[in-house]
C-alpha cells in the first residue's frame, strides 16, 4: 500500500508542475510582453536541466522527442508559427519546456512554416503590411527572425 501512496503523490506533484508551467505560459501570453526580460527571469527560477534534456519514457513511443530543439529563454510559440494548430499556446509552450523540443505543428502537411519567406536584412513589418493584425510588431518580427518566414496577417 505505501507504494500506491507514493505513486499518487508523484502523480499529483507532476500534475501540479504541469499546471504551474501552463499558468506561467498563460500569464506571459496575457501580459502582452514585447521584450523577454521578465520572461527570462521567470524561467531562470525553474531548473534548466528539465528544459535542456529530453525526457524519455513518459508515454512516448520513441526515446527522442520529435520537433525543433527549443531555444533557451524563448517560448515555442515565439520560435515557430503555430497558426492553424488547434492546441492552446500554453499547451504548446509547456511541451517545449518539459521536453526541450518544440512540438511539430499539428494539422500541417509539411514542416515548412507558413507565411512569406523573410528577405535578408528586412523586418517582416517593413516587408508586409500588417495593418489590423492584433499582434505587436516585435512579435511579428521575432517570428520572422526565428523561422525565416514572415507570419501570415491575422
Give the pLDDT of residue 31: 45
2-30 and 89-99 helices, crossing angle to 10° = 120
Quickly tell me which residue has 527572425 as its cell: 145
Q: Quote the pTM value.
A: 0.33
Percentage of the chain with pLDDT > 90? 21
C-alpha cell at 141: 518580427
pLDDT per residue as tens digits for the range 18-62: 676 666 665 555 444 444 444 444 444 444 433 334 443 344 444
Give the model confidence (pLDDT) of 135-148 as tens digits.
999 999 988 888 88
Q: What is the structure's pLDDT at 23?
A: 63
Q: Give the pLDDT of residue 72.
A: 87
Give me the pLDDT at residue 138, please: 93
How would you classify residue 60: left for phi > 0, otherwise alpha for psi between -120 and 50, otherwise beta?
beta
pLDDT value at position 130? 93
- Residue carrying C-alpha cell 489590423: 132
The strand pairing partners of 102, in sequence order, are: 68
pLDDT tens-digit series, residues 105-126: 887 555 566 788 889 899 999 9
- For residue 127, pLDDT over 90 is answered with yes
What does the alpha-carbon distance between residue 128 and residue 131 come to, in Å, rounded to a whole number?
Answer: 9
Tell me what the pLDDT averaged over the chain comes to. Answer: 72
Phi and psi at residue 64, to the nearest 5° = -105, 120
Amino acid at each position: 500500500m505505501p507504494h500506491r501512496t507514493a505513486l499518487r503523490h508523484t502523480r499529483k506533484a507532476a500534475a501540479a508542475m504541469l499546471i504551474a508551467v501552463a499558468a506561467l505560459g498563460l500569464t506571459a501570453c496575457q501580459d502582452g510582453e514585447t521584450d523577454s526580460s521578465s520572461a527570462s527571469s521567470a524561467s531562470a527560477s525553474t531548473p534548466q536541466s528539465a528544459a535542456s534534456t529530453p525526457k524519455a519514457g513518459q508515454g512516448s513511443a520513441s526515446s527522442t522527442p520529435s520537433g525543433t530543439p527549443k531555444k533557451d529563454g524563448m517560448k515555442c510559440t515565439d520560435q515557430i508559427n503555430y497558426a492553424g494548430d488547434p492546441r492552446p499556446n500554453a499547451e504548446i509552450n509547456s511541451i517545449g519546456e518539459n521536453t526541450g523540443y518544440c512540438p511539430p505543428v499539428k494539422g500541417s502537411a509539411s514542416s515548412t512554416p507558413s507565411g512569406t519567406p523573410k528577405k535578408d536584412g528586412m523586418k517582416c513589418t517593413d516587408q508586409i503590411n500588417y495593418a489590423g493584425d492584433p499582434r505587436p510588431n516585435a512579435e511579428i518580427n521575432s517570428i520572422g527572425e526565428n523561422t525565416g518566414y514572415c507570419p501570415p496577417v491575422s
